[in-house]
Amino acid sequence: MGSFFPWGSLSLVIFLLLHSMLRLSSCCFVAERAALMDIQSSLGAPDSWGKDGDDCCSWEHVKCNYSTQRVSHLFFSDVCWTTSKVSCFLNSTAFSALPELEYLDLSYCYQYLLSLEGLVGLSKLRYLDLSGAGLGGGFPQFIGEIVSLEVLALNDNNITGGLPGAAVRNLRNLRQLNMSYSSFEGNLPGSLFSLPHLKILDLSANSLGGRIPISSESGPISLEVLDLSSNHLNGSLLVAAFKNIRILKLGGNQFSGSLPVSLFALPHLKFLDLSCNNFVGHFPVSLSSEQVPLEVLNLHDNNMSGALPSERGTE
Over residues 151-169, the pLDDT tens digits come to 999 999 999 999 999 889 9
The pLDDT of 17-40, averaged and rounded, is 69
Which amino acid appears at position 225 of this protein? V
Which residues fall within 8 angstroms of residue 47, CB to CB, at 6 or more apart? Answer: none
Q: Is the pLDDT of residue 201 over 50?
A: yes
Three-state DSSP state, 254: strand
Residue 207's pLDDT is 96
Cα separation, 302 vs 177, in Å, equals 29
Residue 23's pLDDT is 45
Which amino acid appears at position 94 of this protein? A
The pLDDT of 211-234, averaged and rounded, is 90
Cα separation, 34 vs 4, in Å, equals 45
Residue 83's pLDDT is 52
Cα separation, 252 vs 181, in Å, equals 14
The pLDDT of 262-285, averaged and rounded, is 92
Tens digits of residue pLDDT in 96-121: 999 999 999 988 875 555 567 888 88
Residue 313's pLDDT is 46
